[in-house]
Amino acid sequence: MPAKPESGDYALPTPSPVSSRTEERNWRTVDIDLVSTEEVLRLLNAEEATVAGAVASVLPVLATVVDHVVERIRAGGQVHYFGAGTSGRMGAADSAEVVPTFGLEPGVFVAHQAYPRPTSWWGSPPAAARRTSRAPCGPPGGPAR
């Protein structure tokens, strides 16, 4: 049991260990930085090949989740994405793209990113949320030559 904080002290909760396969070391690719380019591509391809089977094994549950989300959105609800780093940027990109792609109103999908300031070329989080499918894909000035 954690020590009780003294008067005026504020104890932060100790985070619980998270157990997720995506956060564990993948021993099949432990030497990926030491092999040839072709072997890197083989390793990545082999890992990618495991995705379809993993998704197939949870399709009934996934269908139930999607049905519940659609029901909530139709009733005026929202979908919130939370992430930091790459997962935060992916959530921001997805929440921005559902507007023009599926004709949803802005604000139905909301991204919450954990970072103190803009870290990418595409600007601040509000700028990312305003992207449309007509916006250029790539850094300002076009791709590097």
The count of domains in the chain is: 2
Q: Is 96 exposed, middle or buried (0-12, 13-18, 19+ CB in 10 A)?
A: buried
CA distance 38 to 50: 19
Residue 122 lies in a domain: yes
> Is pLDDT of 76 > 90?
yes
Beta strand residue intervals within the chain, DSSP E:
79-83, 109-113
| Mean pLDDT value across the chain | 79
Residue 116 lies in a domain: yes
More confident residue, 128 or 109: 109
Asked whether the beta carbons of 96 and 128 are under 8 A apart, the reply is yes
> Is pLDDT of 54 > 70?
yes
Q: For residue 121, what pLDDT is reported?
A: 47
> Is pLDDT of 18 > 70?
no
Q: For residue 145, what pLDDT is reported?
A: 46
Residue 103 lies in a domain: yes
- Taking residue 94's Cβ as centre, other Cβ atoms within 10 Å add up to 14
> Taking residues 58-76, what's their average pLDDT?
96
What contacts 87, CB < 8 A, 6 or more positions away? Answer: none
* Domain extent for 69: 35-75
Residue 7 lies in a domain: no
